[in-house]
Structure 1
């Protein structure tokens, strides 16, 4: 079966959790009208990616009632939602993917493992990867800088993921690096890559939300404005490309000891 995924591109209001939650609900409803199965939001969408927001009061992991409106929208529409936020974990903070599914409690699924230099002032890195089921397919989770490391996507693929999900926020000047990394992760692993990016805000983020197929070709894109990059994930295409482009099958798990001469 195919799976329709939407990668949101939007601006988050720094520190305005209720306003950002309302915008998330609106996108979920719009995605439902487009027959979307899974929707992905950018990095720190709930809080905004902002220095002042990160040092202020963050949504808490202990009580998740601030997610009630999103859960209600999920229960009505039936969508699977991947929503990233800066999160107060009680004594530490993380950049966390929260997964919301119909009829289930929200799951604090994945904490960003590779923190960008400035983020280390505020956040603790996650200590494990994560994938989730969507129909018959497995989705591997990542947040922004994670995708700069080929081994992160490879670990997701090794653990059964055929779609690599990334919630990000790219600064001006990062266009080339952004597109190159996501296309490479797709081609290297014979998997789809879905990137959801912030725009605007205090850092003037550049968006670029897109979906790349297993050949590394961009098949859906939101250039500059708010919107959604929507694409159908075809498991038959994954199987065909992995049989033709043999990098995934031919890779060696271990390359042995390095010799120095």
Structure 2
């Protein structure tokens, strides 16, 4: 377990991106992701987060029908334009994509992480697959994931993970200063979750929360957009509108973390809160 009281030495600028994606068109969606990386870099971001299944759209049945065509992996050449954008702009990216386990063949809803040099760093598999996702053929992941970037620890989540308070708390107990979520939150109940649950996760864990959300039709849903960043006290820091393409860019402050954790020291005794679930860690270049 990391030191829960350790703070980063300097501020960090992150971006949450949203744009329409084309159903099962990996090449087009990679190009869109690359353009968002460049735009985010122009706004000073060291890391851009993009929505759940952004590289295919939320097209569960199409992915399952032809996983060889629609799943992606660490060495997939279709990621090359995105890797080039990261390397050229020195901006890392976390982007949603379907993956397939090479040994078991299990399908997963994942977040792929490319570093500022464009190289693949790690992947996080959604731990809380919905009943519909499991019925379609997707398996839940088994481990959380924490990234380290410029002294900031960043816990990853995907969509329905946000509905389980222990998921964000496990990241916090692993020393995360921010919780980064790619999602498909639709109009209606999804918009309500966005407005209520995510600021609560920030306040509960005295850490920043970032949401990158779909902003158009994809599969059976229409994303409500509103990609955003919340402060460690649950107040809104940055927000995109309902439509895209758009970015929510925010400067994360060690001082704001310190103030929140002094005023509301909820992580002082981990034994009273939750057990740290299995996690992997990766350092971004």
TM-score under structure 1 length normalisation: 0.92
Greater Cα offset, 126-135 or 195-204: 195-204
> In structure 2, what is the equivalent of residue 239 of structure 1?
258
The one of 79, 83, 86 aligned to 1:74: 86
Structure 1 residues 63 and 183: alpha-carbon distance in aligned structure 2, compared to 1, 3 A threshold: same
> In structure 2, what is the equivalent of residue 102 of structure 1?
116
Structure 1 residues 151 and 193: alpha-carbon distance in aligned structure 2, compared to 1, 3 A threshold: same
The one of 182, 200, 204 aligned to 2:198: 182
- Structure-to-structure mapping, 1:156-171, within 5 angstroms: 156-171=171-186
Cα-to-partner distance string for 1:75-100 (whole Å, 9 max, x where unaligned): 11111111110123341211111111
Q: How many residues align?
A: 255
C-alpha RMSD of the superposition: 1.7
Task: State the Cα distance separating 1:104 from its structure 2 match.
Answer: 5.9
Task: State the Cα distance separating 1:251 from its structure 2 match.
Answer: 6.2
> In structure 2, what is the equivalent of residue 258 of structure 1?
none
Unaligned runs of 5+ in 2: 1-9, 275-285
> Do 1:47 and 1:53's aligned partners in 2 also have CA atoms closer than 8 Å?
no
> Do 1:62 and 1:89's aligned partners in 2 also have CA atoms closer than 8 Å?
no
Greater Cα offset, 151-160 or 98-107: 98-107
- Structure-to-structure mapping, 1:188-207, within 5 angstroms: 188-202=204-218, 203-207=221-225
Structure 1 residues 254 and 27: alpha-carbon distance in aligned structure 2, compared to 1, 3 A threshold: closer
TM-score under structure 2 length normalisation: 0.85
Unaligned runs of 5+ in 1: 256-261
Structure 1 residues 35 and 60: alpha-carbon distance in aligned structure 2, compared to 1, 3 A threshold: closer
Distance in 2 separating the partners of 1:200 and 1:254: 37
- Structure-to-structure mapping, 1:123-138, within 5 angstroms: 123-138=138-153
Task: State the Cα distance separating 1:33 from its structure 2 match.
Answer: 1.1
